[in-house]
Amino acid sequence: MQKLAPAIALLFLTFNLNAQTSNTPYTTLSDSIQLQINGYQRILQNLQGIPAGVTLGGYAEATYNQPTKEDGEMDIQRLVLLFGYKFDERVQFVTEIEYEHVKEVYVEQAFVNYAVSNGLNIRGGLMLVPMGIINEYHEPTTFNGVERPSLDNKLVPTTWREMGLGVAGRIDAWSMRYQAYLFNGFLSYDGSKGTLSGSSGLRGGRQKGAQSTLDHINYSAKFDYYGVPGLRLGLSGYFGKTQAVEEAPELGTIIGVSMIGADFRYNHRKWAARGQWIYANLSDTAVYNQQTGSDLGSALKGYYTEIAYNVLPLVNRQRLVTFLRYENFNTHDAVAGALSPNPNFHRKEWTFGWSYHLSQGTVFKVDYQNKATAGNQKQNQFNVGLGVWF
């Protein structure tokens, strides 16, 4: 119970938000750009416009990836259906069903939203962990590049979702959106082996709401500031411990996780820019690696920056955006014990390409990537993609 006390206090403190807060729906295009809604927020917005009943949405991505000197791959990478149901003015349900590569089916979100008052929503169920940009805003028309940034695969294990309970809302008087949740954590030992590694960091430990093990409560929060026209600033935090099944050895299968992130998005007329920085400190990794035979680093760190420009006139219905993105991230930024850092886990990537927005909900993408590691591994890749979001 003592572990839950800080989080319970946070939930009660949030109830003291005054009438200056607002959960007013995004009613204009300028609101949509400024507040940059995602799929589940659009579903909740649509539900506000009906007395009761069902609304739906979705997004999809078809991709072609051609690495140098390797076979290319064509893939229906994702087909996602979002459903929302409004029980009454206070209670809504949102779920997201995802088909990956045609044959794999996942539930990406499934939560109940209870609107206590303007600006205060209590949520419970399977939810996205609010860390960085892409983990929440991954609809294909909302980002440049055929593939999501690699940092949001290795450091922030997108799409990162877990079972939890928390609060969310907007305080328009402060130009701030907030989220605060209690989650179950990563599974670091599944009964036979460790699930975390040096190459992919925490990614293998996502439980995704599938018979999730719970040993320790984890805490997650994010604050977004939108008080400057065209600018969105984000600050994220995630703190706790991993989980291990009951059959796991008592020593060495659980590690501590402390992750912080900062991000920005800026839009002004034809120009756009965004960037993200992530740092994760992992404790007790020396014992974990000794117990499991893994090579998990004790610190993960990285960043990316991107600039984009729309070459078409602003009056045009369509947009043709050219962009350049640079990523620098290391899943062995620090190591503990006898483990030596692997230079191939320090990766640097350039991505250059075009996003042709045929309409507000459709995009055709082409880009070229140059990937390299500090260990002098190199790979170039050409990508083509088609995305929709409605």
Q: Please, where are the H alpha helices in the chain?
A: 5-14, 29-35, 39-48, 151-154, 285-292
| The pLDDT of residue 249 | 79
Distances (CA, A) of 306 to 27, 38, 78, 325: 28, 20, 24, 4
Rg (CA), the chain: 21
Distance between CA atoms of residues 281 and 378, nearest Å: 28
- Judged by phi (left if over 0) then psi (alpha if -120 to 50, else beta), residue 262 lies in beta
Please give the residue range of the domain that contains residue 235. 5-389
- CATH number of the domain within which 317 lies: 2.40.160.10
User: Over 70: is that where the pLDDT of 23 sits?
Assistant: no
Query: How many domains, in total, are found in the chain?
Result: 1
User: Over 80: is that where the pLDDT of 21 sits?
Assistant: no
Model pLDDT for residues 64-118, shown as the tens digit of each residue: 999 998 999 999 999 999 999 999 999 999 999 999 999 999 999 999 999 998 7
pLDDT band at residue 35 under the 50/70/90 scheme: low
| The pLDDT of residue 247 | 76
| The pLDDT of residue 115 | 95
Buried b (16+ CB within 10 A) or exposed e, 356-375: bbeeeebbebbbebebbbee
Average pLDDT over residues 43-72: 95
User: Over 60: is that where the pLDDT of 134 sits?
Assistant: yes
| The pLDDT of residue 94 | 98
**Which residues pair with residue 379 across a beta bridge?**
371
pLDDT band at residue 32 under the 50/70/90 scheme: very low
Which three-class secondary structure state does DSSP give residue 153? helix
Closest by CA position to 41, among listed 25, 62, 22: 25
How many of the other CB atoms lie within 10 Å of CB of 195?
Answer: 23
User: Over 50: is that where the pLDDT of 8 sits?
Assistant: no
Distance between CA atoms of residues 300 and 156, nearest Å: 10
Task: Give the pTM.
Answer: 0.89
Structural contact between residues 331 and 279, judged by C-beta atoms closer than 8 angstroms: no
Average pLDDT over residues 288-306: 97
Average pLDDT over residues 256-265: 98
